[in-house]
């Protein structure tokens, strides 16, 4: 393992001004035994906002990126591999299924942990086994997830609810030619660009509610274009924040203002989809 001091701007997909953090980068999962069990696993920062002083060790699995092809449709991958990189490896073997995630630069482990979903699809449906590290019991074990509904929920999972560390994921994937995968990647990329701003963002700030989408609630509360210091709510999609020169504290304050506005307008409490540290 190695420890590196990293600025918040480089930890997150979001260029917010923030403090420095010490991050432990692991080369293999067995090193988890050597760390105090109060550590926090970081993905690739795709949906992470860093606000507070560091009180727990941050651990990154981004150097754990191995992929094994177990048969013509099954893979086992380490949690640190980035989704776009995994898609590239898969299409060389005529495998697809993850095109709906493109081009989000999340790690596979983070995507499974939060049951990443878009355009009517969720990653949990392809996951068949997950190897985890239980911080409390200090042991590794594998969980069969063929019964998808038991382990994966809307932007949530059994692993997130039980604060388990995902180290390896086994997936069953559909056969697609490289040409078919590329066509789907182009279609998804174009669709995403038509909906979301073409800038670095944290993605959707809030989860949708049973009553309505978060974006619609925020729009109806008049929040599109709302400015707070160097950050503002996107005019294109009200559930997205764009940052020009704001600090992480400024962005956090804008998030709280958005929640308060929706509560006042619709009497609905929004819950963050992003991770705030």
pLDDT exceeds 80 at position 67: yes
DSSP β-bridge partners for residue 157: 152
Contact indicator for 84, 78 with CB cutoff of 8 Å: no
Q: Report how far residue 94's alpha carbon sits from residue 174's, in angstroms, rounded to the nearest whole number.
A: 9
Residues 239 and 120 occupy one common structural domain? no
- φ and ψ at 204, to 5 degrees? -65, 125
Residues 72 and 190 occupy one common structural domain? yes
Number of independent structural domains in the chain: 3
* pTM for the whole structure: 0.93
Q: Residues with Cβ < 8 Å from 213, sequence gap 6 or more?
A: 239
Show the domain range for 229.
214-276
> Which CATH number do you get for residue 178?
3.30.465.10
Q: Which string of b and e fits 179-204 if b means at least 16 CB within 10 Å?
A: eebeebbeebeeebeeebeeeebbbb
Q: Which conformational region is residue 3 in: left (phi greater than 0), alpha (psi within -120 to 50 degrees), or beta?
A: beta
56 in any annotated domain: yes
151 in any annotated domain: yes
271 in any annotated domain: yes
Residues 55 and 90 occupy one common structural domain? no
> Which CATH number do you get for residue 50?
3.30.43.10
Q: Which conformational region is residue 44 in: left (phi greater than 0), alpha (psi within -120 to 50 degrees), or beta?
A: alpha
Three-state DSSP at 267 gives coil
Residues 92 and 175 occupy one common structural domain? yes
End-to-end CA distance of the chain: 23
The H or E element that residue 232 is part of is strand 231-233
Interhelix angle 178-195/83-92, nearest 10 degrees = 150
Which of 60, 91, 110 is where one domain is finished? Answer: 60
* pLDDT tens per residue, range 174-227: 999 999 999 999 999 999 988 887 677 888 999 999 989 999 999 999 999 999
Residues 11 and 126 occupy one common structural domain? no
Question: What band does 17 get if pLDDT is binned at 50, 70 and 90?
Answer: low
Contact indicator for 5, 138 with CB cutoff of 8 Å: no
Q: Report how far residue 238's alpha carbon sits from residue 235's, in angstroms, rounded to the nearest whole number.
A: 7
* pLDDT tens per residue, range 214-272: 999 999 999 999 999 989 999 999 999 998 888 889 999 999 999 999 999 999 999 99
209 in any annotated domain: no
The mean pLDDT value for 41-51 works out to 89
Nearest to 250 by CA among 225, 227, 218: 227
Neighbours of 51 (CB within 10 A): 17
pLDDT exceeds 90 at position 136: yes
Residues 152 and 44 occupy one common structural domain? no
pLDDT value at position 13?
62
């Amino acid at each position: 393992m190695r420890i590196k001091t990293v600025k918040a701007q480089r930890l997150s997909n979001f260029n917010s001004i923030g403090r420095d953090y010490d991050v432990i980068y692991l080369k293999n999962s067995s090193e988890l035994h050597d760390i105090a069990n109060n550590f926090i696993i970081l993905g690739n920062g795709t949906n992470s906002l860093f606000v507070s002083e560091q009180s727990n060790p941050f651990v990154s699995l981004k150097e754990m990126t191995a992929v094994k092809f177990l048969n013509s449709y099954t893979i086992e991958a380490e949690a640190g591999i980035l989704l776009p990189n995994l898609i590239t490896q898969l299409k060389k073997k005529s495998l697809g299924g993850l095109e709906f995630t493109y081009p989000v630069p999340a790690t596979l482990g983070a995507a499974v942990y939060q049951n990443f979903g878009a355009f009517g699809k969720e990653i949990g449906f392809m996951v068949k086994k997950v190897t985890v590290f239980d911080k409390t019991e200090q042991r590794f074990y594998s969980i069969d997830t063929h019964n998808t509904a038991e382990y994966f929920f809307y932007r949530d999972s059994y692993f997130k609810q039980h604060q388990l560390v995902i180290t390896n994921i086994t997936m069953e994937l559909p056969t697609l030619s490289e040409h078919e995968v590329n066509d789907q990647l182009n279609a998804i990329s174009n669709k995403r660009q038509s909906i979301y701003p073409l800038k670095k963002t944290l993605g959707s700030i809030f989860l949708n509610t049973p009553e309505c989408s978060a974006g619609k609630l925020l729009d109806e509360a008049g929040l599109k274009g709302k400015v707070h210091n160097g950050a503002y709510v996107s005019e294109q999609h009200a559930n997205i924040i764009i940052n020009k020169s704001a600090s992480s504290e400024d962005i956090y304050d804008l998030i709280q203002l958005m929640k308060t506005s929706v509560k006042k307008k619709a009497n609905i409490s929004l819950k963050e989809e992003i991770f705030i540290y």
